[in-house]
Amino acid sequence: MTHQRAVLTDKQRETLEFLRDYERRTGQAPTIKELREGLGLSSLRSVTQRLEALERKGFIKRDPFRHRSITVLDHINPFSPAGTIQIPVIASAGADAAQVYAQEQYGEYLTVDKEMVGDRKEIVAIRAIGNSMVDAGIKNGDYVLVEVGGNVEDGDLVVALLGDMAVVKRVQFTKDAVILNPDSKSGAYQPIVMQDDSKIFGKVVRTISVQPDKEEITYEPI
């Protein structure tokens, strides 16, 4: 079962930070129009979608009877006393994840509940491309949280590097080879046998599923 957690997309985090900064500078909340202009968005609906997501997650509340109706709540995180942590998104599967990770050139972060990663130390996020892992609950556009260098066993979901390119697959250890298997009944995807220039980057510990129709994120434990 999928459970909603206090996970902010990059856009939602940007909106929350704008709200906090605006309130510090002016002593009041912005209007929807001021939010649209400040965030550089093309439509008011884009603003309200972000606000709806932040309100569902408990980071703000709105009063429909007030003009400047947005109140940023003061607590760190309504879901967990442990608070939140920012996870760098190092790449999309199929992109040059190794270079980005090595150079720490992170352009995006996910703000997630600390309970999602526990006491694991080195966690990064990668966005899945394609549907080769759909039967493992990983769809195109979803994020996976990866424990870099985590202990990997046969059958685990992993991120592997083929050269510098990242792929999300289910690993199989045999006597003669390490095989990266898709998890899809479609038959459109083939196993990959790891070569000398390949290595396992880390173990997938969470799947973060993006709901594109309402800019919402949920997660599944692995």
User: In which element (H, E) is residue 112 found?
Assistant: strand 109-113
**pTM for the whole thing?**
0.60
Q: Point out the catalytic residue in the list 42, 61, 114, 132.
A: 132
**170-222 pLDDT per residue, tens:** 999 999 999 999 998 888 889 999 988 888 989 998 888 775 544 444 444 44
Q: Which two tokens stand for residue 159?
A: 């991120």
Whether the predicted pLDDT of 104 surpasses 70: no
Q: Name the amino acid, one letter, at 136.
A: A
Q: Catalytic residue, from 169, 175, 198, 214: name it.
A: 169
44-56 and 10-26 helices cross at what angle (nearest 10)? 90
**Which range has the worst mean pLDDT, 56-60, 76-80, 161-165, 168-172?**
76-80
Domains of the chain by start residue, with CATH? 3-72 (1.10.10.10), 84-221 (2.10.109.10)
Whether 114 is catalytic: no
Instruction: Give, rounded to a whole angstrom, the gap between the first and last alpha carbons of the chain.
Output: 12
pLDDT computed for residue 79 by the predictor: 42
Asked if pLDDT for residue 76 goes beyond 90, the answer is no
Instruction: For residue 43, indicate whether it is catalytic.
Output: no
Closest CA to 87 of 36, 62, 122: 122
Tens of pLDDT, residues 17-37: 899 888 888 888 899 999 999
Pairing of strands 60-62, 84-92: unpaired
Task: Assess whether pLDDT exceeds 60 at residue 52.
Answer: yes
The mean predicted confidence, pLDDT, of the chain is 79
